Amino acid sequence: MQLFNTLTRKIETLQPLNPPHVNLYTCGPTVYDYPHIGNWFAYIRWDSLVRTLLASDLKPDWVMNITDVGHLVSDADEGEDKLEKGARREDKTAWDVAEFYGNYFVQGLQRLNIVMPGRITKATEHIAEQIELVQKLEEKGFTYVISDGVYYDTSKFPRYRDFARLDIEEQQAGARVEYNTEKRNPTDFALWKFSPKDRQRDMEWDSPWGKGFPGWHIECSAMSMKYLGSTLDIHTGGIEHIPVHHTNEIAQSEAVTGKPFSRIWLHSNHITVNGEKIAKSAGNGITLEDIESRELPLAALRLHILESHYRSQSKFSWESLEAAQNRLNGLQAMAALRWQPVTIDRDESAAIKTTALAILADMQNDLNSPAALAKLSALQNHLETALLSASELEAFEHFLSLLDNLFGLGLMNQPDVSVQQKQLIAERQTARDTKDWPLSDQLRDQLADQGIAVRDTAHGPIWYKI
RNA sequence: GGCGCCGUGGCGGAGUGGUUACGCAGAGGUCUGCAAAACCUUGUACACCGGUUCAAGUCCGGUCGGUGCCUCCA
């Protein structure tokens, strides 16, 4: 398995510390609002990673967090807590907001047929672990306290800028945002924030430094190390996390353990909608509900996403989603062939197996799903030309099974047509044999009303669902 | 302003120096009772200008354009 490692900016071979286990941590959502397709985009990517690991006989131990406290409106620890803000918007408590959108997110994973992480951990359920980690940092002299919280002194961690490869001094000189001037360095970040003195937060806890709540970054370090150990095999997240969130995770984790925090870092690029980035201010945050209201299956979104590479910036438009749906329909027509092998003297099981291996190899090559789908199309066209012989059925079903394991499109979920429908297909063929075209066409219309299309081949009628 | 990324046919999207993946859509054709599917053909695709090379979409430099993070938002 080859993966592009952000740490080295190179393609590397995955070498798990404890094979066949692969310790995998994914930065999950901040649950304060409905996710849009840009959010889901990343999780479908990591689903591909996990599915490829599984298909490669590896055992991913996958932990994903849910940020339900501490993520401030600005990633640079300024502004208010997103959860508290969401609570005010909806006239609920932050706890209610976290509960609602947390559940909604997990249901979304299921709706998108994303492999469920082994553990989904909530920041609010790991406050003690986070306090403990801050204490360790304090013991090692990485922290200092100012009026609004406990901060990490990034100047004490010489490798701080290595991960993002940014010239921090230059960057800050041009930044158009003001930062808390009490901080020793512009890049210093909060480990623990104090509750405001003038009002009570919905979410706050006692700590050795005073009542407050954990900083955004510390949760990922605390939870990933608790469940997966001090060195991860793979840590994933969106590219926006490279300069701040992941840089900070590395700084605080490695300062405590003295070991590499993660051996491989994977980052997924973003998706644009009609050429523009998805942003609250642009109002282009398409949701799963928007897709379903247009009667497009979520599997089409999945396929659309897999048509581009996870490190490329991808484009979304309704037109391209419909194109993906048409492609999906074609794949389902191919999958329907497994219910209707024909009698021909031919066996290309070997070709099917070769394609299966090539597709798996593409996915193992830094999740090259577009290349894998191209190989799939080549075989698909071939099979539909020649149809499927009974001798090829076993290899074909294994093939479909692999496709479903890798891509999660549910090609094998499609059932056979009913006995009655088979009867109609047979009657239509009889009508054709006797050249009773009106009856034949009437039966075809009847089947179409039931969502079944029929095409006539040299080997008899073949159905597929429309 | 700093640090990046990208510019491929109508749309989307791969391309690891050497017969222009693939998908969707379009045109013509073969086949077909009709249809569908499939197949064949077709569209002067590699932003522009230099350079390296026997050979460049692919490497190097520059120009123009777009875009990402730092700044609500993944």
ipTM value, please give it: 0.89
Question: Nearest nucleotide (C1') to the CA of residue A272?
Answer: B67
Question: Nearest nucleotide (C1') to the CA of residue A328?
Answer: B23
Please report, rounded to whole angstroms, the spatial distance between the CA atom of protein residue A385 and the C1' atom of nucleotide B31: 12
pLDDT at A173: 42
The first and second tokens of residue A19, run together, are 């094979």
| pLDDT above 90: residue A107 | yes
DSSP A102: H
Can you tell me which residue has its alpha carbon closest to the C1' of nucleotide B33?
A: A437
| pLDDT above 50: residue A167 | yes
Please report, rounded to whole angstroms, the spatial distance between the CA atom of protein residue A314 and the C1' atom of nucleotide B62: 28
Question: Nearest nucleotide (C1') to the CA of residue A311?
Answer: B5
Can you tell me which residue has its alpha carbon closest to the C1' of nucleotide B13?
A: A308
In DSSP terms, A212 is beta-bridged to: A194, A205
Confidence bin at A177 (pLDDT 50/70/90): very low
Give the residue carrying structure tokens 């150990």. A229
pLDDT at A76: 61
| pLDDT above 70: residue A174 | no
Instruction: Please measure the distance between the N-terminal and C-terminal CA atoms of chain A and give it in whole angstroms.
Output: 37
A222 or A319: whose pLDDT is higher? A222
Reference A255, options A130, A152, A129, A161; nearest CA is A152
pLDDT at A240: 86
pLDDT at A325: 92
Please report, rounded to whole angstroms, the spatial distance between the CA atom of protein residue A358 and the C1' atom of nucleotide B3: 38
The first and second tokens of residue A26, run together, are 């994914």
Rounded CA-CA distance A214/A124 in Å is 9
The first and second tokens of residue A70, run together, are 């501490």
Please report, rounded to whole angstroms, the spatial distance between the CA atom of protein residue A441 and the C1' atom of nucleotide B11: 35
pLDDT tens digits for A316-372?
888 889 999 999 998 999 999 999 888 777 778 888 898 999 999 999 999 999 999
Please report, rounded to whole angstroms, the spatial distance between the CA atom of protein residue A348 and the C1' atom of nucleotide B44: 39
| DSSP of A13-75 | E---SSTTEEEEEE---B-SS---HHHHHHHHHHHHHHHHHHHTT-EEEEEEEEB-S--EEET
Question: Nearest nucleotide (C1') to the CA of residue A38?
Answer: B74
Please report, rounded to whole angstroms, the spatial distance between the CA atom of protein residue A273 and the C1' atom of nucleotide B59: 33
Please report, rounded to whole angstroms, the spatial distance between the CA atom of protein residue A275 and the C1' atom of nucleotide B47: 18
Question: Nearest nucleotide (C1') to the CA of residue A385?
Answer: B38
Give the residue carrying structure tokens 């190989």. A375
> Is A259 exposed, middle or buried, given 0-12, 13-18 or 19+ CB atoms closer than 10 A?
exposed
Question: Nearest nucleotide (C1') to the CA of residue A325?
Answer: B24
Strand B bases near protein CB (under 7 Å) are 1-6, 11-15, 21-25, 32-39, 66-74
Question: Nearest nucleotide (C1') to the CA of residue A39?
Answer: B74
Reference A185, options A175, A174, A172; nearest CA is A172
pLDDT tens digits for A268-285?
988 888 778 887 777 788
Please report, rounded to whole angstroms, the spatial distance between the CA atom of protein residue A145 and the C1' atom of nucleotide B59: 52
Torsion of CA A350, A354, A357, A361, to 10 degrees: 170
* Residues sharing a CB contact under 8 Å with residue A433, sequence separation 6 or more, in sequence order: none
pLDDT at A127: 95
Q: What is the pTM of this model?
A: 0.94
Rounded CA-CA distance A340/A454 in Å is 12
Alpha helix ranges (H) inside A147-212: 168-174
Question: Nearest nucleotide (C1') to the CA of residue A174?
Answer: B1
Please report, rounded to whole angstroms, the spatial distance between the CA atom of protein residue A367 and the C1' atom of nucleotide B59: 25
| pLDDT above 60: residue A77 | yes
Please report, rounded to whole angstroms, the spatial distance between the CA atom of protein residue A225 and the C1' atom of nucleotide B49: 53
